């Protein structure tokens, strides 16, 4: 298989992960190639690229074809992957792409680094249009179990997204608090209040019956 650098400019790699309070991870990984680049690249090489990224994903539950009209490939869903195993799967086979998530003293800390080469603008595939070669999409999206207190991506609620750039060593950083117990505490308090009111109502009705009977 030729070097991934030759494909870099016309591929799509999206990782979406959700960290759960029990320190396991659910998510999905999509690997795809620009449809208009398939003639120059070849179906076999494109399939090998997708296979290399989507095979042997820990906790994989199902795989499905991916086609958004521009890219075609595969999406693999995974679930209940312990943090230690998730971290190992992201670092063991990729020197230029590393991602780790740790849970320590009430905080989740994400550290990542993805060194992406520049797009191949004519060397390996001179027939490819420059727009196709520069169509690459690389993204990492992580949803944390608690409020995010620091990050260098784009924040939406408790989800941080990084859109990575070609020709750069992309650094990913984020930190969050662990899941808050506030909602659970409020729910328990509400139940206790309702039970207290019911008990008071029953006592009132009982006293009233005794009063009428007397």
Average pLDDT over residues 22-50: 91
Please compute, for residue 127, the number of CA atoms within 13 A of its CA located in the half-sphere on the CB side. Answer: 7
* Predicted local confidence at residue 120, as pLDDT: 56
Cα–Cα dist 172/164, whole Å = 9
**Secondary structure (3-state) at 24:** strand
Average pLDDT over residues 9-13: 85
Higher pLDDT, 117 or 151: 151
In degrees and rounded to multiples of 5, residue 51 shows phi and psi of -65, -40
Dihedral angle computed from the Cα positions of residues 148, 152, 154 and 157, in that order, rounded to the nearest 10 degrees:
0
Higher pLDDT, 96 or 172: 172
- Residues 82/69, Cβ–Cβ less than 8 Å: no
pLDDT band per the 50, 70, 90 thresholds, residue 194: confident
Least confident of 5-14, 147-156, 196-205: 5-14
N-to-C CA span, the chain: 96
């Amino acid at each position: 298989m030729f070097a991934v650098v030759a494909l870099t400019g016309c591929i799509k790699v999206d990782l979406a992960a959700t960290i759960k309070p029990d320190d396991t991870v659910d998510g999905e990984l999509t690997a795809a190639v620009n449809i208009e680049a398939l003639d120059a690249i070849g179906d076999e090489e494109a399939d090998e690229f997708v296979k290399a990224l989507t095979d042997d994903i820990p906790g994989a539950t199902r795989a499905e074809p991916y086609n958004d009209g521009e890219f075609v490939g595969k999406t693999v869903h995974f679930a209940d992957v312990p943090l230690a195993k998730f971290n190992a799967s992201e670092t063991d086979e990729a020197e230029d792409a590393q991602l780790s998530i740790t849970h320590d003293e009430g905080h989740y800390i994400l550290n990542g680094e993805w060194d992406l080469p520049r797009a191949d603008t004519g060397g390996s595939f001179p027939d490819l249009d420059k727009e196709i070669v520069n169509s690459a999409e690389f993204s990492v999206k992580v949803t944390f179990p608690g409020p995010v207190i620091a990050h260098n991506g784009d924040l939406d609620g408790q989800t941080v997204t990084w859109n990575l750039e070609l020709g750069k060593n992309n650094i990913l950083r984020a930190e969050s608090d662990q899941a808050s117990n506030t909602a659970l505490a409020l729910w328990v308090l509400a139940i206790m209040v309702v039970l207290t009111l019911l008990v008071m109502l029953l006592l009132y009705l009982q006293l009233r019956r005794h009063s009428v009977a007397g």
